[in-house]
């Protein structure tokens, strides 16, 4: 039942055969399903990789199946909630601009990027001179200028337009204009509360006095949202006896509080993303076979929040790519590669980092969690032919498609060991324990030092079975 519940987290159909897998194989199946699901199961995928790639104990595997996957799933669900809240807040901020200016809020307008949204506002006939000028200045700046325009600049520019209009009108017309603006402020505030908190208000609430209007907003807000900046700001305003404070909240305070909620949600999401990237970096440093992943994680973490998001979405997978170079000084520039002309047999050959893209891809491998599921072990997936892996068959190392069989998974699994020489990394075959990934006269074998075959000669064995994990020839 614990496995059935764990499988349900990633939408995996727990067949009878799957329920009798070993814990490590079962976790590997969960990981594959989470990986295929993409970003929706990011935390589950990362947690499964932690169990698979660092060589954890049987107790750790059991803990992941019984509780760990559910804890990671909660993180994924919370991230979905946070991202949805942040998206709603961003759309709400744009909606406030449209309401403030008097532009109908359509899904098409609200779905525009910040800069295109500002262009649309600038071109709309409802925008006055001050709004158009402020929009033009914002577009001349960067993304920060765009966000400032949406958050406060458009509203302030609209206020200047209104002020200019007031100067040109008689007092009666000015009073009517103020009434309309007050009504817009109320509608804007109602929209904030209905959008953020999923509640509804009758039209009659717009006719209440300012203080009673605010009390009605607070009364209808669900308990779970009463910690938000928007609710707290409304509560603070209504506790004042000064009518100017009520109007200030309706005019700009509600929008400012909503923007603060949006910014807090963005910061929380960014902090969660950085924690996830740090976990990936720490795990990669432990493996010793992912220098590219470590470097990519550090680069993303040293950059912007957007850099971290890109790393988690796609860069992290691409950074698993490495090239395997012979450790012998005489073979500098020689890499493990394959070619269709050799019918899948892997070999050692010189490859130029500035050579043909196809040749560089043939010598580039994604070092992924072992298909066999063993901790501390890996499989080498071809960058040129995804789904094809380096595996041993009759001790010859070749490239073959994953047929999902247990035999293939073992034969395509290589366990990282300290280099048989003083430096580098050696890889022991999981399908043939005691046999090592070795090059002999340019060809690759799973060999020991028995001397039974010519490629199992003891001479130069340690050197030939030690590899340098180097920068991928194809990114």
Q: Phi, psi (5° rounding) for residue 360?
A: -70, -35
Span 253-311, pLDDT tens digits: 999 999 999 999 999 999 999 999 999 999 889 888 989 899 999 999 999 999 999 98
Three-state DSSP state, 326? strand
Spell out a b/e string for 212-244, using b for 16 or more CB atoms within 10 Å of the CB, else e: ebbebbeeebeeeeeebbbbebbeebbeeeeee
> Under a CB-based contact definition with an 8 Å cutoff, are residues 56 and 286 in contact?
no
**Cβ partners under 8 Å of residue 387, min gap 6:** 381, 401, 402
SS3 378: strand
CB-CB contact of 400 with 345 (8 Å): no
Q: pLDDT exceeding 90 applies to what percent of the chain? A: 75
Residue 86's CB is within 10 A of a number of other CB atoms, namely 19
Per-residue pLDDT tens over the stretch 121-132: 999 999 999 999
Cβ neighbours around 248 below 10 Å, total: 15
Largest Cα–Cα separation, the chain: 106
- Alpha-carbon separation of residue 348 from 47, 356, 392, 416 (angstroms): 35, 17, 15, 19
CB-based contacts of 85, cutoff 8 Å, min separation 6: 265
Report the C-alpha gap between 155 and 94 in whole angstroms.
11
pLDDT of residue 345: 92
Neighbouring C-beta atoms of residue 44, cutoff 10 Å: 28
pLDDT in tens, 11-64: 998 889 889 999 999 989 999 999 998 889 999 999 998 888 876 788 999 999
Residue among 154, 177, 161 at smallest CA distance from 129: 161
What counts of helices (H) and strands (E) characterise the chain? 22, 12
Cβ neighbours, 10 Å, residue 361:
20
User: What is the C-alpha to C-alpha distance for residues 443 and 422, in angstroms, rounded to an integer?
Assistant: 23
Bridge partners of 436, per DSSP, are 428, 447
Point out the residues of the chain with pLDDT beneath 50.
none
Walk me through the domains of the chain, giving residue ranges and CATH numbers: 1-78 (no CATH), 169-319 (no CATH), 322-470 (2.80.10.50)
Q: What is the pLDDT of residue 255?
A: 92
Contact partners, residue 151, CB within 8 Å, separation at least 6: 93, 255, 256, 259
Q: Are strands 467-470 and 443-447 parallel, antiparallel or unpaired?
A: unpaired
pLDDT confidence of residue 180: 86
Running DSSP on this structure, what letter comes out for residue 433? T
| pLDDT of amino acid 55 | 62
């Amino acid at each position: 039942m614990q496995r059935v519940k764990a499988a349900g987290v990633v939408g995996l159909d727990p067949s009878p055969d799957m329920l009798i897998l070993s814990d490590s194989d079962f976790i590997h199946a969960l990981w594959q399903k989470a990986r295929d699901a993409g970003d929706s199961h990011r935390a589950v995928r990362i947690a499964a990789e932690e169990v698979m790639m660092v060589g954890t104990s049987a107790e750790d595997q059991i803990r992941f199946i019984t509780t760990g996957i559910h804890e990671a799933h909660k993180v994924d669900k919370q991230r979905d909630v946070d991202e949805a809240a942040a998206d709603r807040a961003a759309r709400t901020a744009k909606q406030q601009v449209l309401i403030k200016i008097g532009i109908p809020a359509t899904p098409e307008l609200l779905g525009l990027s910040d800069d295109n949204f500002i262009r649309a506002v600038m071109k709309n006939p409802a925008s006055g001179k001050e709004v158009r000028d402020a929009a033009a200045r914002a577009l001349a700046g960067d993304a920060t200028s765009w966000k400032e325009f949406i958050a406060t600049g458009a509203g302030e520019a609209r206020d200047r337009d209104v002020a200019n209009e007031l100067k040109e009108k008689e007092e009666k017309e000015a009073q009517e204009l103020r009434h309309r603006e007050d009504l817009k402020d109320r509608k804007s505030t109602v929209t904030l509360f209905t959008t953020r908190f999923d509640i509804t208000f009758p039209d009659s609430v717009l006719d209440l006095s300012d203080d009673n209007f605010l009390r009605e907003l607070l009364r209808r807000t669900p308990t779970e949202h009463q910690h938000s900046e928007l609710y707290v700001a409304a509560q603070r305003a209504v506790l004042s006896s000064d009518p100017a404070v009520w109007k200030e909240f309706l005019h700009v305070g509600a929008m400012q509080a909503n923007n603060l909620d949006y910014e807090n949600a963005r910061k929380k999401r960014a902090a969660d993303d950085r924690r996830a990237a740090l976990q990936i970096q720490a795990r990669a440093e432990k493996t010793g076979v992912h220098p590219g992943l470590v470097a990519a994680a550090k680069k993303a973490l040293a950059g912007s929040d957007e850099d971290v998001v890109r790393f988690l979405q796609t860069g992290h997978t691409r950074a698993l790519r490495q090239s395997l170079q012979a450790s012998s000084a005489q073979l500098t520039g020689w890499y493990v590669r394959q070619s269709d002309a050799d019918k899948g047999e892997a070999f050692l050959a010189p490859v130029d980092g500035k050579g043909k893209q196809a040749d560089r891809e043939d010598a580039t491998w994604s070092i992924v969690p072992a298909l066999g599921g063993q901790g501390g072990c890996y499989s080498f997936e071809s960058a040129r032919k995804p789904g094809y892996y380096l595996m041993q068959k009759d001790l010859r190392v070749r490239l073959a498609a994953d047929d999902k069989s247990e035999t293939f998974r073992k034969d395509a699994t290589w366990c990282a060991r300290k280099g048989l020489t003083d430096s580098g990394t050696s890889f022991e075959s999981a399908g043939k324990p005691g046999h090592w990934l070795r090059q002999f006269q340019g060809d690759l074998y799973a060999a020991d030092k028995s001397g039974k075959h010519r490629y199992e000669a003891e001479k130069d064995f340690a050197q030939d079975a030690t590899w340098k994990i180097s920068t991928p020839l194809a990114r």
